[in-house]
Amino acid sequence: MTWFLLLCTLVIFAGVLLYKVSDRFGFPVLLAFIFLGMLFGSDGLLRIPFEDYGFAEQICSVALIFIMFYGGFGTNFKRAKPVLGRSVLLSTLGVALTAVFTGLFCRLALGMDWAESFLLGSVMSSTDAASVFSVLRAKKLNLKYNTASLLEVESGSNDPCSYMLTVFFISVVNGNAAPGQMLYSVFAQIAYGAIGGFLIGLVASLLLRRIKFPAPGFDSVFVIGIAILSYAAPAALGGNGYLSAYIVGIFLGNSEMPNKKSLVYFFDGATSLVQMAVFFLLGLLSSPSKLPAIALPAILIALFLTLIARPAVIALLLSPFKCKINQQALVAFAGLRGASSIVFAIMAVMSVEAKHDLFHIVFFVVLFSIAIQGTLLPFVSKKLRMIDESGDVMKTFNDYSEEVDVRFVQFVLPEGHKWCGRRLCDVTFPPGTLAVLILREDAKIVPRGTTVLQAGDKVILSGDAAKQGEELNFAEVTIESEEEGVGKPLKDCPLTSKALVMMVKRKDLVIIPKGHLILRKGDVLVIHKGEAAKQEQRAALATEPSSGAL
C-alpha cells in the first residue's frame, strides 16, 4: 500500500512537471502522459507488470464520464449555436461514415474479416475531446469562422455514437446481432440517454440555484454526484450514459448558479488529473515490444484516417453548408484520436476473440494522431490562414472566467465617520473602485450620486482583482502577548521586520496601519510576506501620518 501511494505521488508530480515542459516545447501534454505510462510499464525502466484490461476499462470508463461531463460544461451554447447543426451532423453521420470508410479499408486493403474490420473502424470513428481541447487551450488557437466551437461540440459529442457502433459490432462479431434487439438497443441508447440528460440537467440546474450548502466546497461534491448520476441512471435503463453526461454538462455550464467560478476551477483541476490518470494507465497497459509487429498496418490505418477518410467525410458533410475550403481542411486535420478510442478498443478486446491485436493497433494510431496532428495543428492552422488574431479562443469555452475579474469589499460606516451625512458624489473612493450597493438595515439601496451615507450603512465596493501570477502571499496573525507586540506601537512589533502589515482588524473595525498605532490583545494583523514587502514596510513606518479607520 505504501509503495503504491509513493508511486501515485511520483506519477502526479511527474504529470505536473510534464505540463510545464510540454507548454515550453510545444508537444501535446497527453502524449507525454502516455509515454510516462510506457516508461513505467512492463517494457519500460520500472517494468511494472500490468495487463488487467478489465480494471483499466472500469477506471477509464469512469474517467470518461467526467471528461464528457466537463466537455459539456465548457461548451458555450450561445457561441456554439450557429454551428450546432454542422457539429451534430459530424458527431453522428460523420462518425458512422468514418467507421464505414475505415472498415472498408481494413477489409479491402489489409485483408481483415468484415466484422472485425468494421469493429476496428467503429472504435476509431470518434475524435477525442480531451486531445482537441488540450491543443486549443494550450496554444490559445482562436480560429476563424467559429471553427473552435465547431470542433468543440463535435469532439465533445461524438463519443456516444462511436460507443454505440462499437457495442453493435461487438454483437455482430459474437453472432448476437438480432435485428429487432439491435434496433431497440440503438433506440434506447439515443432516447434514454437524451431524455435522461435533459431531465437530470434541468432538475440539477434548479437545485443548484436554490440549495444553500452548509459549507464551501459542498456544491462541488454535489455536482460530482450529479455527473455520476447523469451516466448511471440512463445506463441502467439501457441508455447512453456518455450522451446523458454531456447533455447535463451543457445544462449546468450554461446555467446561472452561485459559486460557478469555483466549480470551474475545481473541475478544471479534477479533469486534468483524470486525463493524466487515463493516459498514464493506457500507456502502462501497453507493451511497446508488441508495437513493431503491428506498426505497418497501424501506420496505414492512421494515414488513411488522416488523409482520406476524415477529409472525405468533412467534404461530404460541410460542403452543403458552403464552408470554406481552408476551414474544411483544418477541421479534417483536427480530427485527433485519443483516450476514448483506446477505451473502446479495450472493450472490444474483452468482448471478442479477434485475430488481430486490436488494442495495440488502436494504441499506435492514437500515438500517431496526437504526436503528428496535435503537434502540427498550430502550424497547419497558420498555413491555412485560419488563425484569428483579433479574438480569444478561451471565450468559446463556457468555463472561461477571466474576462471580467472583479472582487468586492464591504465595510460598515461607524458613528462619527467623516463620510456620514455626505452625498456619495462628494466622497472620494480609492481609484478603480465603485460603490455598487448600500445595505441599510433591511433595505438594499442602489447607489446614486445624491445618496446620503449614514452611520451603520454597509457599503459594498467593487474593484479589479489581482491578476493571476502576481506574488501575493497574505496571512492573518493574531496578537496575543507582549512579546508579539501587545501595548507597543506597530513599528516596534516583531512582525514588521519580516512582513508588510496590510491592515489591522480590531473587532468590527478595519484600521489603516500606522507606525504609532498601539496594538491591543486580540488585534488581527493581515500581513504580506516577501522581501519586497519588508522594504515597503520599513518605508511606510518611516513616516508618521495620522491614523484612520473605516
Domains and CATH numbers, the chain: 2-392 (1.20.1530.20), 406-464 (3.30.70.1450), 474-541 (3.30.70.1450)
- Do 512 and 541 meet the contact criterion of CB atoms below 8 Å apart? no
Residues 512 and 196: their CA atoms lie apart, in Å, by 56
One-letter amino acid of 52: D
Count Cα atoms within 13 angstroms, Cβ side, for 267. Answer: 32
What backbone torsions phi and psi does residue 527 show, to the nearest 5 degrees? -115, 155
pLDDT of residue 233 exceeding 90, the answer is yes
Residues 265 and 243: their CA atoms lie apart, in Å, by 24
Which residues make beta-bridge pairs with 526?
Answer: 476, 503
Residues 38 and 386: their CA atoms lie apart, in Å, by 35
HEC letters along 105-171: HHHHCCCCCHHHHHHHHHHCCCCCHHHHHHHHHHHCCCEHHHHHHHHHHHHHHCHHHHHHHHHHHHH
Q: How many helices (H) and strands (E) does the chain have?
A: 21, 8
Mean pLDDT, residues 432-446: 82
Q: Note the pLDDT of residue 159.
A: 86
Q: Note the pLDDT of residue 139.
A: 63
- Taking all residues of the chain, what is their mean pLDDT, rounded to a whole number? 82
Range ranked top by mean pLDDT from 114-118, 439-443, 489-493, 535-539: 114-118
pLDDT of residue 446 exceeding 50, the answer is yes
More confident residue, 530 or 236: 236
Among candidates 141, 98, 128, 83, which has minimal Cα distance to 377? 141
* Weakest mean pLDDT among 112-126, 226-240, 256-270, 307-321: 256-270
Q: Note the pLDDT of residue 248.
A: 93
- Residue 200: which pLDDT band, with cuts at 50, 70 and 90? very high
Q: Note the pLDDT of residue 226.
A: 94
Residues 107 and 100: their CA atoms lie apart, in Å, by 11
Q: For 447-472, how does the pLDDT look when each residue is reduced to its tens digit (9 = 90+)?
A: 888 888 988 888 888 776 655 444 45
Q: Note the pLDDT of residue 89.
A: 94
Residues 499 and 487: their CA atoms lie apart, in Å, by 20
Mean pLDDT, residues 267-286: 84
Mean pLDDT, residues 367-375: 87
Q: Is the dihedral of CA 206, 210, 215, 216 positive or negative?
A: positive
Q: Are strands 509-511 and 474-478 parallel, antiparallel or unpaired?
A: unpaired
Q: Note the pLDDT of residue 192.
A: 92
Range ranked top by mean pLDDT from 26-40, 71-85, 131-145, 318-332: 318-332
Q: Note the pLDDT of residue 319.
A: 93
pLDDT of residue 533 exceeding 60, the answer is no
Mean pLDDT, residues 111-129: 90
Residues 154 and 148: their CA atoms lie apart, in Å, by 10
* Weakest mean pLDDT among 115-119, 136-140, 195-199, 427-431: 136-140
- Residue 203: which pLDDT band, with cuts at 50, 70 and 90? very high
69 is written with which cell numbers?
461531463
More confident residue, 291 or 265: 291
